[in-house]
Amino acid sequence: MHVRSSPTDIPWKMWSHPIYTKVGSSSCAGKPSWERSFPRSTHLAEFADLGHKLFRTTPETYPIVFVPGDAFDPKHLEVVQPFTAADAPSGPAPDLRSLTSLNPLRGRVSAIHASSFFHLFGEEKQLYLARALAGLLSPEPGSMIFGMQIGVAEKGFTALGMGGDHRLFCHSPESWVQVWDGLVFEKGAVVVQAKLVQVERKHFEGGGAPAQRVSVLVWSVTRS
């Protein structure tokens, strides 16, 4: 089963110079149609050529820039306070083709897709990553960060993997809302939506185990 955390009604037309950034490990070859609506984007992904062939785009009509780096390295992605309308960056955005880190995009990104990696880290590092991504987000109303990850009804560690031998720290919808609305952004500066959905994930052990239900936290953080 394919779970889409990306909304189909992203109001990209309201932004004058939208920049879309995708962080994570999924391939841009499978980008949904709304992603292709953005005139400029940066992807941390692979297979750009396959994506162009699949969606009949070209490097000129849909420029994709790969910016590999360590999200915990301040030289690549430094934690800064989220921008407000009062201190929004001015002047033209940097040439995406010249990027060697994500730092020049501070306060300029209209939409950030962050899926399937928050749960790979502990609670403190998840908060660090959330703050790092928040510094990239444009202060324009409607700008958003969205994604999905393994979630639980009550935040804490959960077992996942072959035989349940791998423990992950996961947030609940309530605790994830509290992270973004209060810890990352000032209270009330964003609208956070989060919910758990059940996804069928098959594990094969020996001759093959039956399908397993996994809770996935689907969420979005939108500038008010």
Q: 148 lies in a domain?
A: yes
Residue 29 lies in a domain: yes
pLDDT at 159: 82
State the DSSP string of the chain.
-----S-S---GGG-SS-EEEEESS--GGG--TTGGGSSEEEES-S-HHHHHHHHT--TTTS-EEE----TT-TTTS---PPP-GGG---SPPPPGGG-SSSGGGTTTBSEEEE-S-GGGS-HHHHHHHHHHHHTTB--STT-EEEEEEE--SSSEEEEESGGG-EEEEE--HHHHHHHHBTTTBPTTSEEEEEEEEEEEEE---TT-PPEEEEEEEEEEEEE-
Whichever domain contains 76, its CATH number is 3.40.50
Lowest mean per-residue pLDDT among 16-20, 32-36, 93-97, 195-199:
32-36
Q: Is residue 10 part of a domain?
A: no
Q: What is the pLDDT of residues 29-63, one digit of tens each?
A: 334 443 444 455 554 445 677 777 888 888 777 77
The answer to the question of residue 7 being in a domain is no
- Write out the residue range of the structural domain in which residue 61 sits: 18-87+95-223
- Predicted local confidence at residue 25, as pLDDT: 53
Is 208 contained in some domain?
Answer: yes
R_g (Cα) of the chain, nearest Å: 18
Classify residue 144: in a domain, yes or no: yes
Tell me whether residue 142 is in a domain. yes
Residue 105 domain-assigned (yes or no):
yes
Residue with tokens 């932004």: 15
Give the pLDDT band of residue 175 (cuts 50, 70, 90): very high
Task: Count the domains in the chain.
Answer: 1
Q: Which of 38-42, 100-104, 156-160 has the lowest mean pLDDT?
A: 38-42
What's this model's pTM, rounded to 2 decimal places? Answer: 0.81
